[in-house]
């Protein structure tokens, strides 16, 4: 009798272990990728932490994947904290309990394979959630890598990501679509080195002061300066030029800052409109992440008519720039004229606890956890739709004969 009880307990134990193993196998392997070769490396870590904390551990096997500022990939159970401690430097990570991984793009089963230097498989991802703000993450480069691997990923496509990252190209497309943006000029770092007087004269003649100098391809207000006087312009242009070869200068507008979150692929929807109430001269990096003086107002205290108009402008912008998955559309409401302008589009918006994108959707009825679920669903949906495209052309087909 005693032996039967022991055997029964052992059988039950084996069955329980088997159930846990089967449950893990049925979970979706998701890789949350953070860090990167960008001036927004540190911001990415904060966003990634919020996403990892809110992923359903019963539904997903979560793989933390960090990219150093030198471009090396590491993974491990505590990769995020290790990156925070190391400042994203490779040499500071070598002693941590992390694995330096390489990517295998040979993915006939539509999974992204990561292995170590010896060729040992570390993980096989069903979908990737890139949380990489700025260059090499939000600009279409890493999206192109995922496309080559034929693996689903969250967020905009290669084209949409690249277009929205480049403020100059985005503005040209918005101009074509009849969507108003602040007046601007742009030039390259090389051009400015050779033609400083021409640029400075053009700013005074065409834009006036105050104006804003910006790197064309960066976010989180890194490298952006408000220029009140001509004597400061050269210095501020050189500051922007530290971060990108293209510099854009925009006319300053006496405006309120509005934001609208967009979600969806073929049929996107807009959240409520929120407002950023800045604590300083403008909504700069320190206002966003350091001193905490800025405030948010959801919904924005504006007439319903203006709110609805901005939502429509945001959706039109989203489509004009070929976005999918998600984006946060930022704009201005001019205090002097009452006109609305689109400022820029963020295809991987901040996901911190104070970030507007999740807060706008929370007010609009989608919780943080459900928002992440919807984004993952949209990633799978976009991948499935893309794979409907034929990759072969049959010249002997009946269609061709016609």
**Is omega for the bond preceding 370 within 30 degrees of 0, making it cis?**
no
Q: Can you read off the two tokens belonging to residue 185?
A: 């000029």
Residue 55 is predicted with a pLDDT of 96
Torsions phi, psi for 139 (to 5 deg): -105, 10
Q: How many domains does one find in the chain?
A: 3
Please state whether beta strands 269-277 and 295-297 pair in parallel, antiparallel, or not at all (unpaired). antiparallel
291 and 213: one domain?
no
- Cα dihedral value 203, 208, 211, 215, nearest 10: -10
- Give domain status of residue 26, yes or no: yes
Last residue within a domain, chosen from 225, 251, 277: 251
Q: How far is CA 251 from CA 102, 152, 163, 190, 214, in A?
A: 45, 40, 21, 22, 11
86 shares its domain with 189: no
- If asked whether residues 6 and 147 sit together in one domain, one would say yes
- CATH number, domain of 35, equals 3.40.50.20
Residue 398, domain member (yes or no):
no
pLDDT for the residue 280: 52
Q: Kindly state the tokens that stand for 327.
A: 């984006």
Same domain, 143 and 6: yes
210 and 316 together in one domain: no
- Supply the pLDDT for residue 19: 43
- Domain membership flag for residue 171: no
Q: 29 forms bridges with which residues in the sheet?
A: 61
Beta-sheet strand order (sheet of 73-75): 121-125, 112-115, 99-104, 73-75, 60-67, 28-35, 127-130
In a domain, 377, yes or no: yes
Whether residue 170 lies inside any domain: the answer is no
Query: At which of 204, 222, 251 does a domain end?
Result: 251
Query: Left, alpha or beta for 41 (phi > 0: left; psi -120 to 50: alpha)?
Result: alpha
Question: What does the radius of gyration of the chain's CA atoms come to, in whole angstroms?
Answer: 24
Both 359 and 246 in one domain: the answer is no
The owner of tokens 């999740």 is 358
Query: First-to-last CA distance in the chain?
Result: 81
CATH number at residue 341: 3.30.470.20
Would you say residue 213 lies in a domain?
A: yes
Q: Is 306 found in the same domain as 244?
A: no
Q: Which candidate, 326, 329, 324, places its Cα nearest to that of 386?
A: 324
Q: Alpha-carbon distance 389 to 377, whole Å?
A: 20
Which strand ranges, in their side-by-side order, compose the sheet holding 246-251? 184-188, 246-251, 211-215, 225-227
**Distance separating alpha carbons of residues 348 and 328, to the nearest angstrom:** 8
pLDDT in tens, the chain (402 residues): 555 555 555 555 444 444 444 445 589 999 999 999 887 888 899 999 999 999 999 999 999 999 999 999 999 999 999 998 887 677 777 656 788 998 888 766 778 999 988 888 898 999 999 999 888 999 999 999 999 999 999 999 999 999 999 999 999 999 999 999 999 999 999 999 999 999 999 999 999 999 999 999 876 567 899 999 999 999 999 999 998 999 999 999 999 999 999 999 999 999 999 999 875 555 544 444 444 557 899 999 999 999 999 999 999 999 999 999 999 999 999 999 999 999 999 999 999 877 899 999 999 999 999 999 999 999 999 999 998 888 777 766 655 555
Residue-level pLDDT at 396? 66
Asked if 297 and 378 sit in the same domain, the reply is yes
Q: Model's pTM, two decimal places?
A: 0.86
Residues 236 and 135 in one domain: no
Query: Does residue 395 fall inside a structural domain?
Result: no
CA distance 58 to 48: 19
6 with 104, same domain: the answer is yes
Q: Of 251, 281, 311, at which residue does a domain stop?
A: 251
13, burial (CB in 10 Å: exposed 0-12, middle 13-18, buried 19+):
exposed
Helix-helix angle 41-54:79-86, to 10 degrees: 160
Domain CATH code at residue 206 = 3.30.1490.20
Give the chain's largest Cα–Cα span: 98
Q: Is residue 400 part of a domain?
A: no
Please tell me whether residues 235 and 278 are part of one structural domain: no
Range of the domain at 208: 183-251
> SS in 3 state form for the chain?
CHHHHHHHHHHHHHHHHHHHHHHHHHCEEEEEEEECCCCCHHHHHHHHHHHHHHCCCCCEEEEEEEECCCCCEEECCCHHHHHHHHCCCHHHCCCCCCEEEEEECCCCCCCEEEECCCCCEEEEECEEEECCCCCCCCCCHHHHHHHHHCCCECCCCHHHHHHHHCHHHHHHHHHHCCCCCCCEEEEEHHHHHHCHHHHHHHHHHHHCCCEEEEECCCCCCCCCEEECCHHHHHHHHHHHHCCCCEEEEEECCCEEEEEEEEEECCCCEEEEEEEEECCCCCCCHHHHHCCCCCEEECCCCCCHHHHHHHHHHHHHHHHHCCCCEEEEEEEEEECCCCCEEEEEEECCCCCCCCCHHHHHHHHCCCCHHHHHHHHHHHHHHHHHHHCCCCCCCCCCCHHHHC
Same domain, residue pair 231 and 264: no
């Amino acid at each position: 009798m005693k032996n039967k009880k022991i055997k029964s307990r052992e059988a039950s134990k084996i069955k329980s272990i088997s159930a846990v193993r089967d449950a893990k196998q049925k979970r979706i392997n998701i890789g949350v990728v953070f860090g990167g070769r960008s001036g927004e490396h540190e911001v990415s870590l904060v966003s990634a932490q919020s996403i990892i904390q809110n992923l359903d551990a019963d539904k997903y096997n979560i793989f933390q994947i960090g990219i150093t500022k030198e471009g090396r990939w590491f993974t491990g159970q505590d990769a995020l904290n290790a990156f925070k401690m190391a400042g994203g430097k490779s040499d500071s990570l070598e002693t941590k309990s992390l694995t330096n991984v390489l990517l295998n793009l040979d993915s006939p089963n539509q999974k992204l394979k990561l292995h170590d230097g010896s060729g040992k498989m570390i993980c096989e991802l069903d979908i990737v959630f890139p949380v990489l703000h700025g260059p090499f993450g939000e600009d279409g480069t890493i999206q192109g890598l995922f496309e080559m691997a034929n693996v689903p990923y969250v967020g905009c496509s290669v084209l949409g990501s690249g277009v929205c990252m480049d403020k100059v190209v985005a503005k040209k497309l918005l101009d074509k679509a009849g969507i108003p943006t602040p007046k601007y000029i742009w030039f390259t770092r090389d051009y400015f080195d050779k033609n400083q007087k021409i640029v400075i004269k053009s700013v005074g003649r065409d834009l006036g002061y105050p104006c804003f100098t910006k790197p064309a391809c960066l976010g989180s207000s890194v490298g952006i300066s408000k220029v009140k006087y001509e004597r400061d312009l050269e210095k501020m242009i050189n500051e922007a030029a530290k971060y990108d070869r293209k510099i854009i200068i925009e006319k300053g507008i006496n405006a309120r800052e509005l934001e609208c979150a967009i979600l969806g692929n073929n049929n996107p929807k807009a959240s409520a409109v929120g407002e950023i109430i800045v604590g300083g001269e403008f909504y700069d990096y320190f206002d966003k992440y350091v001193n905490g003086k800025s405030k948010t107002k959801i919904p924005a205290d504006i007439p319903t008519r203006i709110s609805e108009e901005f939502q429509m402008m945001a959706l039109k912008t989203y489509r004009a720039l070929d976005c999918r998955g998600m984006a946060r559309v930022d704009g201005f409401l001019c205090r002097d004229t009452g006109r609305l302008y689109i400022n820029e589009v963020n295809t991987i918006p901040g996901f911190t606890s104070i970030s507007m994108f999740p807060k706008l959707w929370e007010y609009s009825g989608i919780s943080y956890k459900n928002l992440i679920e919807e984004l993952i669903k949209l990633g799978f949906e976009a991948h499935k739709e893309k794979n409907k495209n034929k990759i072969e052309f049959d010249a002997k087909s009946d269609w061709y004969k016609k």
